């Protein structure tokens, strides 16, 4: 028996009856030879970690655009926090930890530069139907051709929005994502002087906790206690209600705060200019993007390119194209 077969055998004896078993996967679009040492979801995890899109997350905005303070979260640290929270919940519920880890690591691969400002820009200049979670699936299926399993792609696609993933593991990602960003965005907003903890309604701090770790632990515990040995993944009603109220507080006081978003209009305008430039000059994009022009519209290809950019790359590219450099007389 190979190591991967041993892992699959252990799943049948240890995991919950509601866990998704690796042996039941719908597989990949292109079949590949089984690995003797890793399960299919472990292979997906490794493919994601070694992808270029994953590495670029370290230079993409979470909330604060291109912060100089290195302690603010990026899209990469957000992804790692989501993964950590998802694995804790998954392990406690005896679900498939390999599946949840792969999906969590890949859930934001298609996110734009400058956070949701970039997503808004693509909705404005490319299509109102642009969604970062759909772009994440496009990244793994087409742009990087990672050939992931159906279940991991399903979890990535449904981690945001109204639809639900087909597996409980996939549904954990949606809850873990919210737990992660609600709490780390509070931490960053306090660090950035946007709010203070005392600005948060006292009844929410009393219910959820005043400390960063305390709040996360209470939310995670509320999911585990409510979902243990159940065919669903939910948070206890009172904690969920307080969590959603805290999320609304963040939208009103942080995500829409003028001080936190003072660079947003500049970022959107810069992406507009870059978008229009490459629509007119598509062959100036890297080949991986313009090679699809035979089957895709130029706007679709440019959207892929813009979405792939890091904050730093977009700024440097804009500077190269539109900011004059110092002219020196040749001697």
Over residues 50-57, the mean pLDDT reads 97
Over residues 68-92, the mean pLDDT reads 93
Cα distance between residue 148 and residue 50, in whole Å:
13
Contact 102, 179 (CB under 8 A): no
From its phi and psi, is residue 60 left (phi > 0), alpha (psi between -120 and 50) or beta?
beta
Question: How large a percentage of the chain has pLDDT more than 90?
Answer: 86
Q: Alpha helix locations (H) across 199-263?
A: 202-208, 212-227, 237-250
Over residues 77-88, the mean pLDDT reads 98
Where, residue-wise, is CATH 1.10.3210.10 in the chain? 3-20+36-255
Main-chain dihedrals φ then ψ at residue 163, nearest 5 degrees: -75, 155
Tokens encoding 310: 């890091």
Q: What is the pLDDT of residues 231-254, one digit of tens each?
A: 999 999 999 999 999 999 999 999
Q: What is the pLDDT of residues 142-180, one digit of tens each?
A: 999 999 999 999 999 999 988 999 999 999 999 999 999
pLDDT of residue 327: 60
Tokens 């109204």 sit on residue: 162
Burial classification of residue 296, based on how many CB atoms lie within 10 Å of its CB (0-12 exposed, 13-18 middle, 19 or more buried): middle
Does pLDDT of 330 surpass 80?
A: no
141 CB neighbour count, 10 Å cutoff: 15
Burial classification of residue 69, based on how many CB atoms lie within 10 Å of its CB (0-12 exposed, 13-18 middle, 19 or more buried): exposed
Q: Please, what is the end-to-end C-alpha distance for the chain in angstroms?
A: 73
* Pairwise pLDDT comparison (290 vs 329), residue with the higher score: 290
Is the domain defined by 3-20+36-255 classed in CATH 1.10.3210.10? yes
* pTM, rounded to two decimals: 0.94
């Amino acid at each position: 028996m190979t190591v991967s077969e041993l892992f699959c055998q252990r799943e049948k004896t240890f995991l919950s009856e509601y866990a998704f078993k690796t042996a039941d996967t719908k597989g990949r679009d292109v079949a590949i030879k089984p690995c003797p040492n890793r399960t299919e979801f472990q292979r997906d995890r490794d493919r994601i970690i070694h992808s270029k899109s994953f590495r670029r997350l370290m230079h993409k905005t979470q909330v604060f655009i291109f912060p100089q303070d290195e302690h603010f979260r990026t899209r990469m640290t957000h992804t790692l926090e989501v993964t950590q929270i998802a694995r804790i919940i998954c392990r406690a519920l005896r679900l498939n930890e390999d599946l949840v880890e792969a999906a969590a690591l890949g859930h934001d691969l298609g996110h734009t530069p400058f956070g949701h400002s970039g997503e808004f820009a693509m909705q404005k200049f490319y299509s109102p139907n642009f969604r970062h979670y759909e772009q994440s699936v496009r990244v793994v299926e087409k742009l990087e051709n990672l050939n992931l399993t159906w279940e991991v792609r399903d979890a990535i696609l449904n981690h945001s929005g109204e639809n639900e993933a087909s597996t409980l593991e996939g549904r954990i990602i949606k809850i873990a994502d919210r737990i992660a960003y609600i709490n780390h965005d509070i931490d960053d907003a306090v660090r950035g002087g946007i709010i203070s903890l005392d600005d948060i309604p006292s009844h929410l701090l009393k219910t959820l906790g005043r400390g960063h770790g305390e709040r996360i632990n209470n939310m995670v515990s509320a999911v585990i206690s409510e979902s243990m040995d159940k065919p669903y993944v939910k948070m206890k009603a009172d904690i969920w209600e307080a969590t959603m109220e805290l999320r609304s507080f963040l939208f009103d006081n942080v995500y829409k705060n003028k001080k936190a978003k003072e660079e947003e209009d500049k970022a959107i305008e810069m992406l507009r200019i870059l978008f229009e430039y490459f629509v007119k000059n598509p062959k100036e994009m890297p080949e991986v993007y313009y090679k699809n022009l035979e089957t895709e519209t130029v706007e679709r290809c440019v959207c892929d390119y813009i979405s792939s950019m890091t904050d730093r790359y977009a700024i440097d590219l804009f500077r190269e194209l539109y900011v004059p450099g110092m002219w020196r007389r040749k001697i």
